[in-house]
Structure 1
């Protein structure tokens, strides 16, 4: 495990260089006021009148103006090119939860890389916020307090099996894999709770954006992957 650059006992907002509407960033900061930027995300933060506590990455995207504006002790270059800036950030942030803004809604290859990193760093709970969805890696066991009919989409990035309670289409006995069976567009069968349990850290959990606090609560109270 990498030595943390930033430690927090509360959730942290991580801002990337992708699409980051002001309302989305504001929503994340309401839940997680501490702000860290992934490389060029520093330019987005400064444009919004925000000063990040740390900027982490290979720093090949941050502008010269942002380099001058951010205090040098808050710039943390990690020059290796074998991982993305998102990966570099997750492995150097020690917090109960990270809210990632600016990683969805842009280039598809960047989104796919972010999803892969969520699984690779499954020991670092993280929610990615998009204009319509919130996405995380499902923990081993979690409970979601959602209304009847709420979309609960599941997408495997590896072979995963699990069991569920409260879904319209139960998942017990199904063998999930990206080239076999996926679980998108499932939904809550009734108002109350949906419980999900999985045997491996490979399942993306996708909920409507309005369910951000539901997902945060679930992750903060769930056992983590080790």
Structure 2
């Protein structure tokens, strides 16, 4: 059975309505350290708070004093890595990360690697007001609105990429960060299929309609 967790990180949060929707769709809500400040601001009560606790406000700690808190001071991992590791140990295998992007650029870039690092132990997606990012693995298949925008973003050299259902198809081709990417493609039929034989490939899907 799929167990869905929402991680609220300490980056730029999405709008309140989107974050509250993500919370309702999740079985478990955990905050990564300062992400608890966002949860409090948006009226969301988490089930746990995990991290080194150096970004959480005193007021937040007081308001969430009954919420289990798990301090992890390991300096070899980021707050997001800490909370993803903890969430996987709790047997949640589908993880949505909100507020995982924005603010410090080094944190944003570092956080993107989390999707590859923890695959296939967990399927992780990042969601913000504009869209969502996920890790392709070796194969991804999904339904999407006709005409909607998708992008393929290589984290390194990706080879053997084949797609179906996109306006600009790829057939056993290569994408590489800094040389060739697959931004702003368009869905023309369902299901959309993406296969990659080698490398770490991210999929971005632009939101359609109100969020």
Query: Is TM more than 0.5 here?
Result: yes
Q: Which has the higher helix share?
A: 1
Runs of 4+ in 1 over 3 A off after TM superposition: none
Contact 1:130–1:209, Cα closer than 8 Å, also in 2: no
Query: How is 1:130-209 mapped onto 2 (pairs within 5 angstroms)?
Result: 130-161=128-159, 162-188=161-187, 190-200=188-198, 202-209=200-207
| RMSD of aligned alpha carbons | 2.0
2 CA distance for matches of 1:167 and 1:204?
Answer: 16
By how many angstroms is 1:33 displaced? 4.4
Q: 2:114 aligns with which of 106, 117, 121?
A: 117
Q: Deviations over 1:64-104 (max 9, x none)?
A: 22223334671111101122111111111121311111112
2 CA distance for matches of 1:65 and 1:23?
Answer: 23
Partner residue, 1:83: 77
2 CA distance for matches of 1:47 and 1:130?
Answer: 17
2 CA distance for matches of 1:183 and 1:59?
Answer: 38
By how many angstroms is 1:166 displaced? 1.4
Partner residue, 2:54: 60
1 CA distance for matches of 2:162 and 2:2?
Answer: 31
SS at match of 2:119: coil
Partner residue, 2:11: 18
Aligned pair count reads 203
TM-score by length of 2: 0.87
- Give the gaps of 5 or more residues in structure 2: none
By how many angstroms is 1:204 displaced? 0.9
> Residues 62, 131 of structure 1: CA spacing in aligned structure 2 closer, same or farther, 3 A cutoff?
same
> Residues 40, 202 of structure 1: CA spacing in aligned structure 2 closer, same or farther, 3 A cutoff?
same
Contact 1:99–1:126, Cα closer than 8 Å, also in 2: yes
Contact 2:49–2:67, Cα closer than 8 Å, also in 1: no
Partner residue, 1:214: none
By how many angstroms is 1:26 displaced? 1.2
Contact 2:11–2:102, Cα closer than 8 Å, also in 1: yes
SS at match of 1:90: helix
